Amino acid sequence: KPQLVASNDRFCRFLEEYCPVVTETYYPTIWCWEGRVQTLLRPFITSRPQVQYRNELIKTADGGQISLDWFDNNDSSYYPDASTRPTVLLLPGLTGTSKESYILHMIHQSETLGYRCVVFNNRGIAGEELLTPRTYCAANTEDLETVIHHVHSLHPSAPFMAAGVSMGGMLLLNYLGKTGRDTPLMAAAIFSAGWNVFESIESLEKPLNWLLFNYYLTTCLQSSISRHRQMLEKLFDMDLVMKARTIREFDKQFTSVMFGYRSIDDYYEDASPCRKLKSVGIPVLCLNSVDDVFSPGHAIPVETAKQNANVALVLTSCGGHIGFLEGIWPRKCTYMDRVFKQFVQAVFEHGNKIFSM
């Protein structure tokens, strides 16, 4: 049974009534219950619902561009008026895009409820060109602020919330910690966020975890920027960047330099959402598994969460990183998908009961 951490009794009662999945026993798939196995198998096991996107490129203040993938849900019978159709902004993980299976499942869940979705693809990874020598990181929220302002300006009368997965969740938390209540978002859902980057990196550098995850993710990061090598070579020694064998080495040579940090430690400190959790000013539900090697259980800020009435943590003992597989053959719906669907519906249809907190 998940551990529900929330200091606000009203928020707890709201979740128990309208998002009961967070109080139900989670039974992980019996033949792949271990966290690393869940993490590795989910992308291969889960189905990939068909989603037809409408792409939009928006300009940024520094001359760059951001690729947004819209699922308009114009056939919505629940919300036929597009101007008031609830909108969910989705933030994928580190090298993820709108094509990730977990994003497709979130859109499928939203479609059944009649909602519109828009996926925020980080710069340079969704097929669009880099117009400036800049990509993205977990700490810098400028592009996310641009996207939120843009989406809200297009549909100012539509209820609006966001959901972030892994690094997308970290970025969303860092944005919320920066803005407090000064955001058009009603609420947010966070899945498998890395709370303390120092602890995440240390966990991922253990020999087995490096072999299974760290090296592969590093090559994914290098692959995502190699297409833009001509643009990035203006500022970086790309040969050195491409020699990185860990995420830490990549961040030291590339990410921390790009965003002007004096050291990698300064970047990792700024990127850690645990430092900003006290300042979150809207209702946020965060799902983590304590066996997630990307976000170790001991680094989840339970005590800090208890100090903010807007925050609720849901902690499972199993589930891995964006895993949460359940059932004998977990092809379709995961526990994470069910938490997403119930919480989004609860916010859009009964949110007034928590917004007076």
pLDDT of amino acid 353: 81
CA–CA separation, 272 and 19 (whole Å): 28
* Per-residue pLDDT at 340: 98
pTM for the model stands at 0.97
Distance CA 35, CA 33 (A): 6
In angstroms, the CA 230 to CA 232 distance is 6
Residues labelled catalytic: 166, 292, 321
Residue 356, pLDDT score: 56
For residues 89 and 154, what is the distance between their CA atoms, to the nearest angstrom? Answer: 13
Q: Which burial class, exposed, middle or buried, applies to 38 when counting CB atoms under 10 A from its CB (0-12, 13-18, 19+)?
A: buried
d(CA 268, CA 139): 8
CATH class, 1-195+272-353 region? alpha beta
Under a CB-based contact definition with an 8 Å cutoff, are residues 263 and 337 in contact?
no
pLDDT (0 to 100) of residue 328: 85
pLDDT, position 12: 93
Residue 264 to residue 251: CA distance in whole angstroms: 7
Spatial contact of 154 and 255, defined as CB atoms under 8 Å apart: no
Coil, strand or helix at 124: coil
User: To the nearest 5 percent, what fractions of the chain are helix, strand and coil?
Assistant: 45, 15, 40
User: CA separation (Å) from 118 to 92, 111, 255, 315?
Assistant: 11, 12, 26, 27
Q: Closest Cα partner for 214 from 194, 199, 200?
A: 200
Spatial strand order in the sheet of 65-71: 3-5, 311-316, 284-289, 188-191, 160-165, 87-91, 116-121, 65-71, 54-59
**Domain residue spans in the chain?**
1-195+272-353, 196-270
Q: How many CB atoms lie within 10 A of CB 12?
A: 16
pLDDT of residue 355: 63
Residues 6+ apart with CB under 8 A from 197: 138, 268, 269, 271, 272
- In one-letter notation, the amino acid at residue 227 is R
Q: Which parts of the chain register pLDDT below 50?
A: 357
Whether 161 and 89 have beta carbons less than 8 Å apart is answered as yes
At residue 194, the pLDDT reads: 98
Query: Identity (one letter) of the amino acid at 285?
Result: L
Question: Which has the closest alpha carbon to 213: 201, 227, 196?
Answer: 201
Q: 10 Å Cβ neighbour count for 273?
A: 28
The pLDDT tens digits for 105-147 are 999 999 999 999 999 999 999 999 999 999 999 999 999 999 9
pLDDT in tens, 176-185: 999 999 999 9
DSSP state letter for 351 = G
Phi and psi at residue 3, in whole multiples of 5°? -90, 120
**What is the pLDDT, as a whole number, of residue 44?**
87
- 283 contacts: CB under 8 Å, gap ≥ 6: 11, 186, 187, 188, 310, 312, 347, 351, 354, 355, 357
Beta bridge partners of 191: 165, 287
**Residue 13: how many other CB atoms lie within 10 Å:** 13
